Amino acid sequence: MDLIRIGDKIISRRRIDRCISRMLELRAMGLSQADVAGRLGVDRTLVSRLEGLGEVRKGRRIAVIGFPIKNKEELRSALEKEGVDFVLLMTDAERWDFLRRRSGLELFNTLMEMIATAHGYDQVVVIGSSRRIKIFEAVLDKPVIGYEIGESPIQEDRYVNPDEIVELVRAVRH
C-alpha cells in the first residue's frame, strides 16, 4: 500500500521513495549535502542522516593493480568480496596482448587514462616486481603499497596468495 496513516496525516511512501532516490542521485553526481537539501526543500541534516543510515563503508577508496598473476580470477573474487573499488589484474599473456593490440598513440592514450583512473583512488596496491612498484609510485606521485612477486622482468605468471592480499587491503583500509 502506498498510503500510510500516521495520526491525522496521510503519508505517501512512493513520494518519500522518489525523494530519497533523487537525493542519492544528486549526491552521487557530486552535489554537496547543502545543495541537495536546497534543491529538494529539505533540511541538510536529513540528507546527512539518510546517508548515515545507508552507509556501508566509509573511508579509503582502494585500487589493486597487478601482473603477471597466475590465479587472477581467484584473487579478483577475493578482492571484490572485500569491497575493493577497482581491480586490474592480468596474466603475462594478457599483458603482452594488451600491448600488441594497440598502436603507439592508442597505447599512450589508454595508459594515460589508466593512470588518471588509478590516481583517483586514495590508496593503490601494486602487485608486481619492485621495478614496476617504483614506476607506479613515480607516475602516480604518491606512495603505493607494493606486494613484490619477483625480480624484474617477470616473464611468467606468479601465484599470489589471496589471503595475504586481503589482509593487506584490510590493513590499508583501517
State the pLDDT at residue 156.
Answer: 95
Residue 20 exposed, middle or buried by CB count within 10 Å (0-12, 13-18, 19+): middle
State the pLDDT at residue 94.
Answer: 97
Number of domains forming the structure of the chain: 2
State the pLDDT at residue 56.
Answer: 56
Residues 112 and 39 in one domain: no
- Quick: pLDDT tens for 5-32: 999 999 999 999 999 999 999 998 888 9
Residues 37 and 75 in one domain: no
State the pLDDT at residue 39.
Answer: 95
State the pLDDT at residue 54.
Answer: 79
Residues 42 and 115 in one domain: no
- Low-confidence stretches of the chain (pLDDT < 50) are none
Owning domain of residue 42: 3-54
- Say how far apart CA 1 and CA 17 lie, in whole Å: 13
Residues 127 and 147 in one domain: yes
State the pLDDT at residue 23.
Answer: 93
CATH of the domain at 44: 1.10.10
